[in-house]
A = this chain, B = another copy of it.
Amino acid sequence: MTDPADLLRKHGLPITAQRLGVLRAVAARPHATADAIAEDVRSGIGSISRQAVYNALGMLAGKGLIRRIQPSGSAALYEDRVGDNHHHLICRTCGTTADVDCAVGKAPCLSASNNAGFRIDEAEVIYWGTCPDCLTKA
């Protein structure tokens, strides 16, 4: 099983209550902001500082254990679904975020028609639109 503590150990990270809390919160609430995660962790282990949250999120994202997405005009979101190539749908009206699998296959978005000499290591795709709820309301 993928015990959170083991997960941290495998990546050479010291195990702290804060990191475990952050990991749990990210798993429990996909597409949450750093602030929402801090709230969640607080309700679990009592308290955590904003810096510890950013610190943990940054480190986990760096190790590839969680993924960070940053939509225009709002705070960064974090999710624990990594390793597959999926993208995001964001509602312009209410901000709801949904996962969407890549349209063309496994990891195709990494191929641009002309890479201008860049070495590309990631493609980030955000689809903007209106979610079903906001469509019916309008």
Of residues 76 through 128 on chain A, the ones whose CB sits less than 8 Å from some CB of chain B are 76, 87, 89, 91-92, 98, 100-104, 109-128
- Report A113 CB to chain B, min CB distance, Å: 5
Tell whether A102 pairs with B98 under 8 Å between CB atoms, given A70-B73, A128-B122: no
Copies held by the complex: 2
Chain A: number of interface residues, binned into ranges: 35 or more
Binds B, one of A16-24, A30-38, A46-54, A129-137: A129-137
Whose C-beta in chain B lies nearest to the C-beta of A131?
A: B118
For the complex, give the distance between the alpha carbons of A137 and B98 in Å: 39
Provide 16 A-B residue pairs closer than 8 Å at the C-beta atoms, listed in order of the A residue.
A70-B70, A89-B112, A91-B118, A100-B113, A101-B114, A102-B113, A104-B104, A110-B127, A115-B127, A116-B131, A116-B132, A120-B129, A121-B130, A123-B126, A123-B128, A125-B125
